[in-house]
Amino acid sequence: MEKLQFINQINPMKPIVLFLSLFFINRVSADESYRYSVDLTKVANDKVSVTLTPPDIKENEILFSFPAMVPGTYEVYNFGRFITNFTVIGKDGSSIQVTKVDVNTYKISPAGKIQKITYLVDDTFDKCDLPGTQEKIVFEPGGTNFEDGINFSLNTHTLFGYFRGYLTNSFIIEFLKPKGFYPATGLSEITLGEKADVLVARGYHHLADSPIHYSLPDTCSVKVGNTRVLVSCYAPNKKINSKFIARTLEELLYVQSDYLGGELPVNKYAFLFYFTDKPTLSGASGALEHSYSSFYVLPEMDSLDIQQQIRDVAAHEFFHVVTPLTIHSKEIGEFDFNDPKMSEHLWLYEGMTEYAAHHAQAIGNITDADVLLNTMMEKYSNSLRYFNDTMSFTYMSKHVLDEEIHKQYGNVYEKGAVIGMCLDILLLDLSEGKYSTRNLLKDLGKKYGKEKSFNDEDLFNDIQKLTYPEVGEFLKKHVGGKEPLPIKDVLARVGINFEREVVSSEFTLGGAGLNYNEVTGRLYVENTEEMNEFGKAMGFKKGDEWSKLNGNELRIENIKNIISEYYNTVKEGDNVEFEIYRPKGKKGKYKILNLKSKAKKVQVIRKNQINLMQNISDQQRNTLKNWAGV
């Protein structure tokens, strides 16, 4: 295994050329290309100005559009909402008629007389006063942020439109930039300058697939095999930096390389991280995948506190280079930005990706088999608790843009991942350890690939031809059909016993639903719906923040150890004391209380429990070893 080496940090102050010379850019025909200019040096009311010199247009009348939706978001955002002052200027004083067809589209005539188009773009991170924006907030990793002179996180689909019928024309984009700013991106065709940079995309699909992170650089470039990996970081309080992230991802990238057969499937990849010290407008954090990059919006925390979260999210997003960016249906390969059609196979694109992100870490010894199993069982429990387990997964996927069905979308990360686990175990068991989901994805990649899409209705039969009739039956009944996953049968194949419900008498901390307050750094009682007798005797209320347990301060870095010590030493009748911060009156005001009660066991009903069978067969042991490495 080749050791990952750190390469010198990029110095944006030098007008160097990366992968592309000015000569090469100039060879791109101006007549055939979109030529965009964006001014990042003048931001007014969170808006930047954009100017377009269009390619030669043959039609007399044409539609110019901004996307309604982009791949990976699974939600219609109508990015035309963020465009104002849309103006079309004609050649030699020609009069141009412009009609706004809908929120995203303008009809322009005569199209051949367009000299240039200008407009203003609002960012999406903090904008909720435009029509429709408060009701449909853009998930930040799919949006754009303008912080004048500080940071520009640019998802290109929010900035640039296209002429219908001219999606494959090249885009040449000039960014006028603040001094010293650097464009971190997965794009390879870049010319850097002191006052402006020029980037090239080979068509609108390529452009929309390529976010750009503009700031004074905190960047680090590393190499894994033949793949150059760029890490870019913006953190307002400098609690985390690109070198720490690169070191955090180092082992993960090696593991993912091994998991994918010994090499990464791209020559260049960019991890673009934006950390925020404020709550996001959407109330969520996460990432959005692209073919050669991924864009992250995460809470700024002390680096060690967020390290595993970075690994988990980055592992998921990077594995998207396989699905759906290499293996996908026509709905994705021929994506319609303004009238999107959804594929049936979110179990493959998101579910298999989420499963692989955790499985790779377990067999690569970043985590272990126990963490993998606990994670998958938690996802299984969540899928039953929060989502409709009898809804066909393919039906949900196909109709995920429908308002009612969209409520089920989150299940792609829960049940979708468990589908991946079940399929992997089933394949390994049937093949006596010789064939897994990794082999299946590699074979599907050979059959299809980045430039060839499959038909939705053919996928299950294609998988069955590559594998076994039992696999085809599993997919048709439990993914395409309404039958619940055969979780007990699947886990039995690796010697694990599954029980739907187990009743026991145990010590607890009260059974209240807990969450974490990132501002105060304390656990708090989110709900008391399932609080047990001990929790009621203690007197917990919704909103209580836990400060100390039996005199021991509960901090994020030691909570696990303190609670483990409590369970290991507590006895019936022991005094148990919590120091809690109870909210009062104005936001941020608390009353400090000491709550006391006697420790006592309560009846606990645990659902979806697993344990290793006492006597397992050689086949079960072999399948377990090939699946989890134990």
Is 95 buried (19+), middle (13-18) or exposed (0-12) by CB count in 10 A? exposed
Packing angle, helices 415-430 and 618-628, rounded to 10: 130
The CATH number of the domain where 532 resides is what? Answer: 2.30.42.10
In a domain, 616, yes or no: no
Q: What is the mean pLDDT of residues 369-374?
A: 95
The CATH number of the domain where 77 resides is what? Answer: 2.60.40.3650
Considering only 1-15, 216-230, 470-484, which range has the smallest mean pLDDT?
Answer: 1-15
Residue-wise pLDDT tens digits, 279-316: 999 989 999 999 999 999 999 999 888 999 999 999 99
In a domain, 548, yes or no: yes
Q: How confident is the model at residue 585 (pLDDT cuts 50, 70, 90)?
A: confident
H or E element at residue 102: strand 97-102
Residue-wise pLDDT tens digits, 2-35: 222 323 333 333 333 333 334 444 444 557 999 9
- What's the pLDDT score for residue 13? 32
- What's the pLDDT score for residue 30? 54
Residue-wise pLDDT tens digits, 152-196: 999 999 999 999 999 999 999 999 999 999 999 999 999 999 999
- Measured distance CA(465)–CA(471) in Å, rounded: 10
Q: Name the residue range of residue 261's domain.
A: 218-321
- Measured distance CA(171)–CA(571) in Å, rounded: 70
Alpha-carbon separation of residue 133 from 72, 78, 211 (angstroms)? 20, 10, 21
Extract the tokens encoding 491. 């886990």
Output DSSP code: residue 261: T
H or E element at residue 158: none
Alpha-carbon separation of residue 166 from 58, 63, 65, 173, 203 (angstroms)? 11, 10, 11, 16, 8
Task: Say yes or no: 211 and 226 in one domain.
Answer: no
H helix intervals, 407-527:
415-430, 437-447, 459-466, 469-478, 487-492
Q: Which of 215, 237, 269 is the last residue of a domain?
A: 215
Based on the structure, what is the number of domains in the chain? 3
CB atoms within 10 A of CB 344: 23
- What's the pLDDT score for residue 546? 96
In a domain, 445, yes or no: no
Whether residue 126 has pLDDT greater than 90: no
Packing angle, helices 369-386 and 415-430, rounded to 10: 130
CB atoms within 10 A of CB 120: 17
Q: Name the residue type at position 606.
A: R
Task: Say yes or no: 148 and 236 in one domain.
Answer: no
In a domain, 620, yes or no: no
In a domain, 383, yes or no: no
- What's the pLDDT score for residue 23? 40
Task: Say yes or no: 169 and 224 in one domain.
Answer: no
The proportion of the chain whose per-residue pLDDT surpasses 90, expressed as a percent, equals 82
- What's the pLDDT score for residue 74? 92
Extract the tokens encoding 459. 């996928």
In a domain, 625, yes or no: no
Contact criterion met (CB below 8 Å) for 407 and 72: no
- Measured distance CA(149)–CA(507) in Å, rounded: 55
Q: Which of 295, 321, 347 is the last residue of a domain?
A: 321
- What's the pLDDT score for residue 555? 87
Extract the tokens encoding 527. 């709900």
Q: What is the mean pLDDT of residues 374-402?
A: 96
Q: How confident is the model at residue 464 (pLDDT cuts 50, 70, 90)?
A: very high
157 three-class SS = helix
Query: In terms of Cα–Cα distance, which of 327, 468, 481, 472 is closest to 389?
Result: 481
Task: Say yes or no: 136 and 222 in one domain.
Answer: no
Is 467 buried (19+), middle (13-18) or exposed (0-12) by CB count in 10 A? buried
Q: What is the model's pTM? A: 0.84
- What's the pLDDT score for residue 124? 94
- Measured distance CA(169)–CA(396) in Å, rounded: 35
Task: Say yes or no: 235 and 135 in one domain.
Answer: no
Contact criterion met (CB below 8 Å) for 524 and 543: yes
Query: In terms of Cα–Cα distance, which of 385, 374, 610, 372 is closest to 488?
Result: 610
In a domain, 355, yes or no: no
- What's the pLDDT score for residue 93? 85
Return all residues near 431 (Cβ < 8 A) that are at least 6 apart.
468
The CATH number of the domain where 236 resides is what? Answer: 1.10.390.10
Task: Say yes or no: 33 and 165 in one domain.
Answer: yes
Residue-wise pLDDT tens digits, 307-363: 999 999 999 999 999 999 889 999 999 999 999 999 999 999 999 999 999 999 999
The proportion of the chain whose per-residue pLDDT surpasses 70, expressed as a percent, equals 94
Is the model more confident about 451 or about 4? 451
Residue-wise pLDDT tens digits, 586-615: 777 899 999 999 999 998 888 899 999 999
Output DSSP code: residue 216: S
Whether residue 393 has pLDDT greater than 80: yes
- What's the pLDDT score for residue 135? 67
CB atoms within 10 A of CB 232: 29
Phi and psi dihedrals of 148, rounded to 5? -50, 120
- What's the pLDDT score for residue 132? 58
Q: Which of 173, 199, 215 is the last residue of a domain?
A: 215
Task: Say yes or no: 233 and 182 in one domain.
Answer: no
Is 587 buried (19+), middle (13-18) or exposed (0-12) by CB count in 10 A? exposed
User: Phi/psi zone of residue 500: left (φ > 0), alpha (ψ -120 to 50 degrees), beta?
Assistant: alpha
Task: Say yes or no: 253 and 175 in one domain.
Answer: no
Q: What rounded mean pLDDT belongs to the chain? A: 91
Task: Say yes or no: 270 and 312 in one domain.
Answer: yes
- What's the pLDDT score for residue 103? 95
Strand 227-234 relative to strand 268-276, pairing: parallel
Task: Say yes or no: 209 and 230 in one domain.
Answer: no
Residue-wise pLDDT tens digits, 533-567: 999 999 999 999 999 999 999 988 888 899 999 99
What order do you get walking across the sheet with 145-147 strand by strand? 145-147, 151-154, 212-215, 182-185
> Could you write out the DSSP letters of every residue in 347-364?
IIIIIHHHHHHHHHHHHT
Task: Say yes or no: 145 and 245 in one domain.
Answer: no
Task: Say yes or no: 188 and 239 in one domain.
Answer: no
In a domain, 113, yes or no: yes
User: Phi/psi zone of residue 19: left (φ > 0), alpha (ψ -120 to 50 degrees), beta?
Assistant: left
- What's the pLDDT score for residue 8? 30
Return all residues near 39 (Cβ < 8 A) that are at least 6 apart.
48, 49, 176
